[in-house]
């Protein structure tokens, strides 16, 4: 399955996808990387792997351009990885059920417009929550709202700063997102929602149980 990745920032989630799907025998091929920021680190990571790149207007509102790019590259699945703009409704409609987003918290908590990056982790810490995590969900017309496809827990530890927590969550993002994309690419669509502890790819990739998740994260 040919995949397009939309990213606004440094692109570490993109890198985890590039590393997970290196060659033609992979279930997914990262065929296109699009950013609304010409200086995004994600574009440099894509170019370093010889993956096609494109930039769009900073506001990300140009639906026709996005659809044109996706058609030209034969895209079957779109992944938002640290993409900070709302995807135009026409693009969401055209890729209904075939567009994923990764969010660094356990939605529906700590999500929505303006909830991205360190703000998410600051809000988690301020709330006193003891567990946070990662959510991969289908994208719909509202921020951080579509059907949840997978989630994984991450403990909040005493003395955590937003930076420390963000790094612990990001490490789990880099494992969960490629596993969901692989399941999509193999299954040709949304896999059944996975409960915590259910094997979600090679055991070596994700901790086999909630306790292990808490112990290892
Ligand atoms: C990640 O935490 C992602 O969940 C959030 O933005 C961050 C981007 O990281 N939406 P990167 O650009 O993939 O390194």
Q: Say how far apart CA 43 and CA 189 lie, in whole Å.
A: 27
In tens, the pLDDT along 104-128 reads 999 999 999 889 999 999 999 999 9
Within 13 Å of residue 97, how many CA atoms lie on the same side as its CB?
6
What are the phi and psi torsion angles at 99 (to 5°)? Answer: -135, 125
Q: How far apart are CA 198 and CA 61, in angstroms?
A: 38
What kind and span of H or E run contains 77? Answer: strand 77-80
Each residue's pLDDT, cut to its tens digit, for the chain (217 residues) gives: 999 999 999 999 999 999 999 988 889 999 999 999 999 999 999 999 999 999 999 998 999 999 999 999 999 999 999 999 999 999 999 999 999 999 999 999 999 988 999 999 999 999 999 999 999 999 999 999 999 988 888 989 999 999 999 999 999 999 899 989 998 988 755 554 444 444 444 444 444 455 555 555 4
Task: Report the predicted TM-score, pTM, of the whole model to 2 decimal places.
Answer: 0.89
Question: What tokens appear for 103 in the block?
Answer: 């969010």
Return all residues near 10 (Cβ < 8 A) that are at least 6 apart: 40, 41, 42, 82
Beta strand 99-103 with 131-138 is: antiparallel
Is 103 among the residues known to form the active site? yes
Pairing state between β 77-80 and 99-103: parallel
The closest-lying atom of ligand 1 relative to the alpha carbon of residue 103 is 4
Q: Which residues line ligand 1 (CB under 6 A)?
A: 7, 9-13, 81-82, 102-104, 116-117, 170, 173
Helix (H, G, I), strand (E, B) or coil at 170: helix
Residues pairing with 30 in the sheet? 3
């Amino acid at each position: 399955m040919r995949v397009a990745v939309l990213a606004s920032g440094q692109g570490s989630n993109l890198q985890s996808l590039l590393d997970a799907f290196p060659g033609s025998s992979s279930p997914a091929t990262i065929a296109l990387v699009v950013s609304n920021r010409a200086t995004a680190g994600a574009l440099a990571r894509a170019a370093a792997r010889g993956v096609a790149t494109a930039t769009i207007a900073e506001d990300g509102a140009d639906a026709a351009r996005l659809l044109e790019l996706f058609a030209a590259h034969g895209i079957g699945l779109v992944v938002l990885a640290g993409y900070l703009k709302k995807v135009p409704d026409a693009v969401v409609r055209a890729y209904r059920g075939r567009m994923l987003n990764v969010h660094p918290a356990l939605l529906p908590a700590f999500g929505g417009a303006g909830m991205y990056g360190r703000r998410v982790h600051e809000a988690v810490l301020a709330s006193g929550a003891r567990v946070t995590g990662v959510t991969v969900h289908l994208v719909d017309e509202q921020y951080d709202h579509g059907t949840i496809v997978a989630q994984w827990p991450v403990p909040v530890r005493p003395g955590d700063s937003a930076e420390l927590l963000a790094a612990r969550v990001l490490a789990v993002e880099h494992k969960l997102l490629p596993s969901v994309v692989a399941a999509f690419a193999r299954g040709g669509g949304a896999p059944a929602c996975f409960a915590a502890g259910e094997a979600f790819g090679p055991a070596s990739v994700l901790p086999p149980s909630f306790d292990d998740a808490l112990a290892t994260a």
